[in-house]
Amino acid sequence: MTEQEKLIRQALAAQAAEAVDPAVVLDRLRQGTRPRRRSFALVAGVGVAVAAAVVAVVVPLTAAHDVPATQVVPVATPGPVEQNILFVGLDRAPAADAVLLARLGTNGSVRAVSLPRDVEVDVPGQGKGRLNAVYANARQAALGQGRDAAAASDEGVKALVVTVQQLTGVHADHYASLDMAGFETLSTTIGGVEVCLKAATRDPVTGATFPAGKQTLSGERALLFLRQRHGLPGADLSRIARQQVFFRALVNKLATEDTLRDPKTVAQLLFLLHDGVRTDQGWDLAASVKQLAGAPAATLATIPVDPTKGALFGVDLAQVHSFVAAFLSGTGTGAPGPNVTGPPGDCVD
């Protein structure tokens, strides 16, 4: 059991008598963040970005509690740097069910673009195919070469980094992913997330139904909401819009309500992050968390695609490169219309 795990378990066992010391948490994150050596079923959509946001909000909120000076452990961190981070959500196949490329600015701002899983790309060793096949293809090849499951997963993500750079013109400095079961528990732990639908929907595959209007989702229903694409007007594009709206609503709840002022809830969330987050070896997650603290709301968009090409979404690489460069730099909002989500609280399809 790692020191971070002990810290969190002790907080849970003691019902978190006073508070979780944010400085200690950051120090443990710095020491304990490394690639996880186990297999993962990762959350679809923006779950990994949610994980980073959870910690970013936990730190300033817990800092508001009175903590004796003798308990504070100074954490030396480098100055903030701009980073491009690839967030990958894998289904149980496993395949890249969702891919998000985000830029963390030096001021803590987050701008992210969703890359639809059905975008046509050059799949290494396979030719033209879906973006979501890149990870699975590289992972399987690595397993065939005798790599263990963890090393094979790393190869899958590395192949995605190369493919995403070809698609967007942007190289990801780091990557991260989150365990699906942990995300399901996360939404339950904070008491659910409020979303709004323009019209009632029913998924003909899973049978999940959602009424029109505002509703609070948690646990399995939250996952069903995030993963639904059947029965929606825009199919996978509508699902991406749902994921973006859900993410921003979740972060807003964490930042504006008293959910994280309960030390026991804080400890539970930190344990979930420890158990489910997987990052590359070189990413200093603790420094990024501090950089995120107090940042403005995340801004999200979807790359421009042509959904009329058949089973795969066609793309104009020059257009995508221009869109992503302008959007991530903050010099433009990107293409008008459905590619950019509205303000937090907007209803979606």
Residue with tokens 């196949």: 93
**Which own/partner contact pairs does 29-33 have at CB distance under 8 Å and 24+ positions apart?**
29/4, 29/55, 29/285, 29/286, 29/289, 30/75, 30/284, 30/285, 30/286, 30/287, 31/3, 31/4, 32/2, 32/3, 32/4, 32/5, 32/274, 33/277, 33/279, 33/283, 33/284, 33/285, 33/286
CB 111 within 8 A of CB 105: yes
Task: Let me know if residue 174 belongs to a domain.
Answer: yes
pLDDT at residue 83 above 70? yes
Laid out side by side, the sheet with 96-104 consists of: 278-279, 174-177, 83-90, 96-104, 110-115, 299-302
The winner for highest mean pLDDT among 38-42, 50-54, 231-235, 273-277 is 231-235
pTM given for the model: 0.75
Number of domains in the chain: 1
* Cα angle 242-243-245, degrees, rounded to a multiple of 5: 65
Cβ neighbours of residue 200 closer than 8 Å, sequence gap 6 or more: 209, 210, 211, 212
Structural domain including 218 reads 3-329
Task: Let me know if residue 349 belongs to a domain.
Answer: no
Task: Let me know if residue 194 belongs to a domain.
Answer: yes
Q: For position 160, which CATH number holds?
A: 3.40.630.190
Task: Let me know if residue 340 belongs to a domain.
Answer: no
Task: Let me know if residue 284 belongs to a domain.
Answer: yes
Nearest to 300 by CA among 325, 251, 345, 333: 333
The winner for highest mean pLDDT among 81-90, 187-196, 255-264, 315-324 is 315-324
Task: Let me know if residue 336 belongs to a domain.
Answer: no
Note the pLDDT tens digit of each residue in 175-194.
987 766 667 888 898 889 99
Note the pLDDT tens digit of each residue in 1-54.
444 445 444 544 543 444 445 455 555 555 544 444 332 222 333 444 444 455
Size of the chain in residues: 349
Task: Let me know if residue 40 belongs to a domain.
Answer: yes
Task: Let me know if residue 341 belongs to a domain.
Answer: no
pLDDT at site 37: 34
